[in-house]
């Protein structure tokens, strides 16, 4: 990854649409970074993070800067976590989108 590559950090519902519930955009140069996802980062007003008890957390490095996942993007996932947890989660970017 290059310092200017885009990093998307987001929460996703465990089932249903893969559209992010809450998302923040950073750059590789910002890593490691600590973010707090909340309802103000919702992609859709009716799908707020607070509406979900459990979510999947993802961090994806995009060479193109596109919000759509593409082959070659780098990915890290926390498969399930409590959306209201006060303890932080560490996402390790350790796989590649095929």
pLDDT of residue 71: 95
pTM of the complete model: 0.94
pLDDT of residue 17: 87
pLDDT of residue 58: 97
More confident call, 33 vs 17: 33
pLDDT of residue 40: 95
pLDDT tens sequence across 31-89: 999 999 999 999 998 899 999 999 999 999 999 999 899 999 999 999 999 998 878 99
Q: What is the DSSP string of the chain?
A: --TTSEEEEEEEESSS--S-SEEEEEEGGG-S------GGGBSSTTS-GGG-SEEEEEEEEESS--SS--TT-EEEEEEEEETT-SS-------EE--
pLDDT of residue 91: 97
């Amino acid at each position: 990854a290059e310092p200017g590559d885009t990093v998307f950090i987001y929460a996703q519902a465990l089932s249903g649409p893969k559209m992010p519930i809450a998302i923040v955009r950073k750059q590789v140069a910002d890593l490691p970074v600590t973010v707090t996802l909340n309802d103000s980062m919702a992609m859709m007003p009716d799908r707020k993070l607070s509406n979900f008890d459990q979510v999947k957390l993802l961090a994806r490095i995009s060479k193109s800067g596109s919000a759509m996942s593409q082959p070659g993007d780098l990915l890290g996932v926390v498969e399930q976590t409590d959306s209201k947890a006060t303890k932080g989660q560490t996402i390790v970017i350790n796989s590649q989108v095929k």
